[in-house]
Amino acid sequence: MNAQELHAEFIRLRDTGVRLAGALSEISERAAVYRQLYLESGRNHIFPLIAAHGALWARGYFAFGLKLSQLLSWQYALSARVRRDQYHSLAVFLDALRNVNRRVCADTYASYHFVGQYRHHADAAETIGPRLFDALSRVHAARESGRDLSDTDKRLVFELHFRSEQETVVGPTLATAVPELRWPLVRFFALRPVISFAYFPRGQRLWFNNFASREERIANGLKAFSLAAHVGWSATEAALTSYSEPPSRLHSHSELKFGTIE
């Protein structure tokens, strides 16, 4: 396969990932995809495990945002039109965040399977970038040999994957979506989430002064990894069942398993 054909294959895998990731509201479906990728990697690919927690936590965050907007809508009690416009801007913003999660899920699915199938191809690394390609190749080498990567290696893979998604998906989307959220008070709260994933030790939180800050997102993402490593990977995985709606069972897992894509 030449470079163009390899790129086309990655796009095909990503299209499959988009379909598996479901509609914007199907968060538990994405969590199921993430969890299956984690299991398929021999529990070496930590990014999808923590991303599953992020997706399930975000459901409550979205619900809170909607309730908060109802409380704050008194500001526009004298103008139904303005209130309607502000609700619309919030809905667009929340959908942008849901779409980020869907796109990241599809990319995670595609990059994992692409590297697994083409990691010995000389030109394949250019499709997703040499550093991430090399990191995911380590995951597949460990999977094939039945080894557990060290936490140091797991952190390296996580960080490279996390930074890649922040650069290519999350950052550009937020740069467009945040200015469109024209409800000042709601935007103030929306950009200052306090995150507590189910596996966090009691009292631990991820605090944001500005969720639009790439540096803050990366710092908190790495802290989320460190907390997972501290409590243990088994406990972190088990905590997925603690959310109000844990990862759902997909109608078919066949497409999620390595090497079974037709």
Confidence at residue 72, expressed as pLDDT on a 0 to 100 scale: 64
* DSSP codes joined into one string, 161-182: HHHHHIIIIIHHHHHHHHHH--
Query: What is the domain range of residue 176?
Result: 3-182
Asked, for residue 199, whether it belongs to a domain, the answer is no
Residues 145, 179: Cα–Cα separation, whole Å: 48
Asked, for residue 261, whether it belongs to a domain, the answer is no
Confidence at residue 190, expressed as pLDDT on a 0 to 100 scale: 84
Asked, for residue 227, whether it belongs to a domain, the answer is no
What's the average model confidence in pLDDT over 1-18?
93
* pLDDT tens profile 156-166: 999 999 999 99
Q: Could you tell me which residue, 154 or 84, shows the higher pLDDT? A: 154
CA quadruple 227, 45, 212, 218: dihedral, nearest 10: 60
pLDDT above 60: residue 257: no
Q: Could you tell me which residue, 182 or 164, shows the higher pLDDT? A: 164
Asked, for residue 34, whether it belongs to a domain, the answer is yes
- Residues in the chain, overall count: 262
* pLDDT tens profile 130-164: 999 999 999 999 999 999 999 999 999 999 999 99
Asked, for residue 113, whether it belongs to a domain, the answer is yes
Average pLDDT over all residues of the chain: 88
Residues in Cβ contact with 111 at an 8 Å cutoff, skipping those fewer than 6 apart: 10, 128, 132, 136, 161
Burial 130-152 (b: 16+ CB within 10 A, else e): eebbebbbbbbebbeeeeebebe
Phi/psi for 244 (5° steps) reads -60, -30
Asked, for residue 39, whether it belongs to a domain, the answer is yes
pLDDT above 60: residue 78: no
* DSSP codes joined into one string, 45-63: -HHHHHHHHHHHHHHHHHH
What's the average model confidence in pLDDT over 81-109?
85
Asked, for residue 203, whether it belongs to a domain, the answer is no
Asked, for residue 239, whether it belongs to a domain, the answer is no
Q: Could you tell me which residue, 260 or 180, shows the higher pLDDT? A: 180
Residue pair 181/187 in contact (Cβ under 8 Å)? The answer is yes
Structural domains in the chain (count)? 1
Mean pLDDT highest for which of 72-81, 174-183, 214-223? 214-223
Residues 73, 48: Cα–Cα separation, whole Å: 37
